[in-house]
Amino acid sequence: EIRHVRARAVWDSRGRPTVEAEVELADGSVGRAIAPAGASVGSGEALDLRDGGDALGGFGVDRAVGNVKGEIAAALAGHDAADQQAIDKLLTELDGTPQKSRLGGNAMVATSMAVLKAAAASAGLPLYLYLAQGRGMSVPLPQIQIFGGGSHAAGRVDIQDFLVVCANAGSVADAFRKTAEVYRSAGELMAAAGKRHGVADEGGWWPDFDSNEQVLDALMRAIEGAGLMPGDDVFIVLDIAASEFGSKGRYTLGLERRTLDTDGLGELLGRWIERYPIVSIEDPFAEDDEAGFRAFTAAYGHRVQIVGDDLLVTNAERVKAAASKGLATCVLLKPNQAGTVSEAVAALEAAREAGFATIVSARSGESEDTTIAHLATGWNAGQIKVGSMSRGERTAKWNELIRIEEALAGSARFAGWEGLKIERR
């Protein structure tokens, strides 16, 4: 039974305020969670409530914090924290808007996750075990960023994420070791070229390049420089985040001073699939480009995972529609896109129903909160995407996965290649 709901403004990894919610139950159990925040935001996402005005660039969350302490705390008092669906329904109805703009998606997701964590604490279980409820679990395959880009690097290159997966690694700890070698090697390569200028928002190296394809070449050299085999030890993953540089079938690659139509962008990505060991491409087209997604999934969906992020915004109805139209093969799950844990679970279940793969994902604005490491494991999602091998808000999640893998030794395996739902290479 929920006794107190508290909230406060804390800081995220971009130096912006965000909402922390804290839920205390009658038995003294406490759950605490911090809302993350995106930069490349899908138009269908739950909306964060920000204060506006001049202070903190308008990013203040005093109103959202006030909503948790006021209306939300009053509504949740006395309710059963173990009935997550009822809690989330109550929150959603209390808000009453299609995109949670009244109370704020930030207020709601922090509260929803804090309730979940309080319930797990009350059950005396780590969150991943509480979520699994005796069903199968696996330690997720991590997609790890090596170079940042797009809106996470001031548009220095157009493509947002250049990542790797060590799909044939023996454990998540082994995947981190190999990826750390690639990350180090990429840093040395940038330093040698006089282009090491620090890191982007998710910890990947700052992308000082003259074309988007140059980043892929650098990534290949970094993998080889680490003594690893591209297409065997290490595979490439891209998040194009195409909504950030295109709409209505026109895509402007600012770095290369050229504009492509849907077919042109599809051909470019198709050439990259032929030339590089790519296993997954996220948001290859803008969220309004269904024709692009459909044709691309038909052409490449059998060999490369086609991931919907801005396209699907962790929404079960959108996932079902995408499945029936053949727009993607994998769903990115970001709890704060949905706004409550239960709605994220509904998107997960819709993905399962459709035979889609799933990736639990952080946002570019993050904190030390490690909830998503537990969600990815307990939900048996198969994959997780959190950013790079640097910056504490990223490594907090990776380090939690190392602890989880150790605790689960013998009782749950590393998802590895099985996390991807494509033919093994």
Q: Known binder of ligand: residue 364?
A: yes
Residue 41 binds to ligand PGA (criterion: CB under 6 A): yes
CB distance 394 to 388 below 8 Å: yes
Catalytic annotation present for 202: yes
Residue 361 binds to ligand PGA (criterion: CB under 6 A): yes
Give residue 299's Cα distance to chain centre.
Answer: 25
Give residue 419's Cα distance to chain centre.
Answer: 15
Q: Which of 202, 343, 400, 405 is catalytic?
A: 202
Catalytic annotation present for 178: no
CB of 33 to ligand PGA, least distance (A): 17
Cα separation, 190 vs 198, whole angstroms: 10
CB of 335 to ligand PGA, least distance (A): 12
- Is the CB of 208 or the CB of 282 nearer to Zn ion? 282
Give Cα separations from 388 to 56, 162, 363, 397 (angstroms): 27, 10, 12, 11
Q: Show the tokens assigned to 136.
A: 């199968």
User: What are the φ/ψ torsions at residue 27 (nearest 5 degrees)?
Assistant: -85, 5
Nearest residue to ligand PGA, using CB?
Answer: 38
Residues numbered 300-329 forming contacts with ligand PGA, rule: CB under 6 A: 309
- Is the CB of 230 or the CB of 284 nearer to Zn ion? 284
Closest CA to 178 of 139, 117, 228: 228
Q: Establish how many alpha carbons lie within 13 A of residue 316's alpha carbon, considering only the half-sphere containing its beta carbon.
A: 14
Q: Show the tokens assigned to 7.
A: 């909230």
Closest CA to 182 of 142, 150, 229, 214: 229
CB of 42 to ligand PGA, least distance (A): 8
Task: Identify residue 301 by its one-letter amino acid code.
Answer: G
> Considering only 182-190, 254-262, 272-280, 358-366, which stretch makes contact with ligand PGA by CB under 6 A?
358-366
Residue 40 binds to ligand PGA (criterion: CB under 6 A): yes
Among 9, 39, 125, 291, binds ligand PGA (CB under 6 A): 39
Residues numbered 211-240 forming contacts with ligand PGA, rule: CB under 6 A: 239
Residues lying near Zn ion in the complex (CB under 5 A): 239, 282, 309
Task: Give the H/E segment covering residue 387.
Answer: strand 382-387
Q: Known binder of ligand: residue 20?
A: no
Cα separation, 166 vs 397, whole angstroms: 17
Residue 242 binds to ligand PGA (criterion: CB under 6 A): no
- Is the CB of 106 or the CB of 361 nearer to ligand PGA? 361
- List contacts with ligand PGA (CB under 6 A): 38-41, 160, 239, 241, 309, 361, 363-364
Could you list the residues known to form a binding site for (2R)-2-phosphoglycerate, using ranges.
Answer: 160, 334, 363-364, 385
Could you list the residues known to form a binding site, using ranges.
Answer: 160, 239, 282, 309, 334, 363-364, 385
